[in-house]
Structure 1
Amino acid sequence: MIDQGVTAALAARDALRSTNGDDSHNSGTGVRRTERAAHECTYTDFLKCPPLPFKGTKGVVSLSQWCERMDFVFHISNCTAENQVKFATSTLYSVALTLWNTHV
């Protein structure tokens, strides 16, 4: 009895997944729905994650934690490789910013 109920529920769910039965997801209009294009990361998107500021005075452990957090923020915000350095440097301040500015 339970098996029949589960089977019926799964069949109903599968029927709702495609309104025209051919799994084209076109709702019977003949036009297939397209997947949304990936949104390119903006600086505002990047700041919403929020990235950790980096001062550069607490040693290698702090640097490692900052790098890990930045990788996570870049991944979550879909940040392109071209923007990663630019956005990451905006989180530097104090000694780290001075060091960056002297080498760039």
Structure 2
Amino acid sequence: MSNSAINSFIVQIEDKQLLLTPLWPMGFEQVQRCKEWFEHSAIKAGTLAYGADRVELGLNFANEVFTFCYEDYSESFWVTADSAGGAMLLSELAKEFSNLEIR
């Protein structure tokens, strides 16, 4: 199995957010390049911000805004809906995340 182009997340839907579990370990350096993950999907990547332990990326999907987050300390990934309309689209967004090809 190659890590260069495979489906990469198990996705659980929670209240106003997606909890993401990667299928293999991902380091902070790889997550810093996360804008590339969305190049061939219906999700459009926006502004990337990161610090010593955290990455946040603004996303747009079906005209709604979301925030993709990664915390290195806990090795946690999640996506939050920034509006009630976004929360209604979480199941569709979950499908998109399940099909991402991480390089």
**TM-score, length-scaled by structure 1:** 0.26
Flag the structure with higher strand content.
2
For normalisation by structure 2, the TM-score amounts to 0.26
The structure with the greater share of residues assigned to helix is: 1
Structure whose CA Rg is larger? 1
> Which protein, 1 or 2, shows the higher relative CO under an 8 Å CA cutoff with sep ≥ 6?
2
